[in-house]
Structure 1
């Protein structure tokens, strides 16, 4: 088997261009001390012979990296897919690359991913996903983040965290108010909730919004059954089965994210329930599939792509004495899965 040819090195570029290694290096990095004519000549030679700069080696030499770390809870969740699209669009426009990893909502895995990115000389990290209700869950993560930022690294988060860094804050609480108010305005009074993992601040904030709307309508929150489950399609189906088997008289179900709502829809339709004739279903986030399921899903729209873009913008800004906060809007998207209850 023939040996593969070695990729061209910077010294090969210098030799082919007829310049010194130092001049070739300055020309390729855009540094001062090289005329525009010489720089263009060197870059043209590099393109011709197929030279690709080694950004990792450059980072090791200069302490700078053009790689941004993006840590998400679940790469299979469309919510994080849309956020990643926003991050990737912004990195591409700025000449950066993104290195994506997931934690499956495990704080220990989150800490390990941060440490791994630091080991790879990544200078900027975006944490996308909910924080944890119990601040002590993030104690080790907070210590690692402080160590990283004290060394010159930058971190931004999406969601409510107990971390001293810039944050993009989805409008979860107000979105919960709007969603519950929508069902109450339709005339529903027997409403159940599929809540997602109770240790997440996202779940806490969305539930708080639902509770506020129920209180404003002078209805007792304790009469609203809440069933936790995984933030997945399978989790939604399982939680819906538990909820409806215990409370068959419900006229509406709210799932605190869209994959759970899609799972609930699937279980309800498969169990002979008519949606929305027998029971209404609403979700949260407005993932791309929400408009395509049958019936199309009523949900709260969050600007997920914009959230990713804003987090990337924050993490590439210089640090400031007080963490910056960017709050997002929300929008009710009423579709065919919700309707007034039958008398």
Structure 2
């Protein structure tokens, strides 16, 4: 059974309950968790008895409170490294486009980006929320950033590539050239971003490997299982055509 929760906590709990009732051999939870104590308690109430009865659970990119096998991308460290790479291009004025603040992925990537800038003595000028962790959310956040007044940032970081795709469209609609007027970067390295014009700079995660690793964790035998384990996956900064030096006159070296 394959289902999308559309990042709705109540729907996720309902699907896990359904899988328990159907006596699924294993449950995989893929995607960001929630910074929500009520969700954590409800999820624990579903997963604990399922695991005690012999069910297997493995997750990707979830909240650390779940006591199950986890394949955890290093979101915070990857975002910090991206910030350092963008600073090295000469940027000093940044905006971050984010989705719902309760998502752990959003929180980790935003915190990491702040840390990377802080290490260079730079503050984050603005954080713009798009509402949804989607292309439409990125489009809305980019429009909000452009309409906010004041000096425009020279570089925008969208916390996921999907949002960056929407942001690129919004910048084009506003007549903002990427990267000549403003650089743009994302996170994940989903396949489509290499085909954009310009191709998107991002933090590449080995998405296929992560899927294979989480399946392997879920299908371990009881003898192999033992204690729950966290497998950490590093991201790699990949600079492409969507990022370049700041516009002439705003380059700080």
TM-score scaled by structure 2? 0.93
Q: Which residue of 2 aligns with 1:226?
A: 127
* 1:45-124 correspondence to structure 2 within 5 Å: 99-124=1-26
CA contact (8 A) 2:30 2:62 kept: no
Q: Which residue of 2 aligns with 1:205?
A: 108
Shift of 1:136: 3.1
The count of aligned residue pairs is 243
Instruction: Name the CA distance, whole Å, in 1 between partners of 2:219 and 2:181.
Output: 50
Q: Which residue of 2 aligns with 1:51?
A: none
Instruction: Name the CA distance, whole Å, in 2 between partners of 1:228 and 1:196.
Output: 6
Partner SS, residue 104 of structure 1: coil
Instruction: Using the TM superposition, name which of 110-119 and 253-262 deviates more.
Output: 110-119
Instruction: Name the CA distance, whole Å, in 2 between partners of 1:207 and 1:331.
Output: 17
Which residue, out of 243, 255, 262, partners 2:145?
A: 243
Q: Which residue of 1 aligns with 2:230?
A: 325
Shift of 1:134: 2.7
CA contact (8 A) 2:97 2:142 kept: yes
- Between 1 and 2, higher relative CO (CA 8 Å, sep ≥ 6) is seen in 2
Deviations 1:142-186 (CA, angstroms, capped at 9, x unpaired) = 110001001110101101322110000011011101111111111
CA contact (8 A) 1:244 1:250 kept: no
TM-score scaled by structure 1? 0.69
Structure 2: tracts of 5 or more residues without a match: none
Q: Which residue of 2 aligns with 1:299?
A: 202
Root mean square deviation of aligned Cα: 1.2
Instruction: Name the CA distance, whole Å, in 2 between partners of 1:183 and 1:196.
Output: 21
Moved over 3 A (4+): 318-321
* 1:1-343 correspondence to structure 2 within 5 Å: 99-161=1-63, 162-221=65-124, 224-229=125-130, 230-247=132-149, 248-319=151-222, 320-342=225-247, 343=249
Shift of 1:220: 2.8
Instruction: Name the CA distance, whole Å, in 2 between partners of 1:292 and 1:267.
Output: 18
Instruction: Name the CA distance, whole Å, in 1 between partners of 2:221 and 2:44.
Output: 19
